[in-house]
Amino acid sequence: MRCPYCGNEDTKVIDSRPSEDRAEIRRRRVCEKCERRFTTYERIETVPLMVIKKDNAREVFDRDKLIRNIMRACHKRPVTSADIEQIADEIENLARSSYDKEIRTTEIGELVLQQLQNLDEVAYVRFASVYRDFTDVDSFLKELTRLKAKEQ
């Protein structure tokens, strides 16, 4: 590691410890030439998860966007922020572990619907109405009938 003060490449680690969130390692170093101390951080470099949209455009997975859309479906419903965070965690973890660093928006939508169906039926129908693009009352009723049939 190059010293930020004198540019010397001979430095020595004098202390290593994980950060509070354990996402990186903090290293205290000393330059063997100028003897000044400095801190470096080491973290795992991950390949970003990409989302393939309906028009085949690709964008980086945005967890906040996922949470906002789930929150919109759960507005004024007895669903806690912790529930929404857990859904987002499960979907992100599944997407990162099960897909080859790319996932289609349709797959994300289906995963959200699976989670919401178990959590809150009204939130499920709200999300489905946007996700499945209900165009008329009949398509809405068809989804409600399908949901009722699953209950029985």
pLDDT at 41 over 80: yes
- Arithmetic mean of pLDDT, 122-134: 84
- Arithmetic mean of pLDDT, 34-55: 89
* Selected residue with higher pLDDT from 143 and 91: 91
pLDDT at 126 over 80: yes
Q: Which amino acid is at 13?
A: V
Residue 99 binned pLDDT confidence (cut-offs 50, 70, 90): low
Q: Dihedral of the CA atoms 72, 108, 95, 21 (nearest 10)? A: -10
- Arithmetic mean of pLDDT, 11-37: 91
Q: Which amino acid is at 138?
A: D
Give tens-digit pLDDT for 77-97. Answer: 999 999 999 999 899 888 888
Whether this prediction's pTM lies above 0.75 is answered by no
Q: Which amino acid is at 50?
A: M
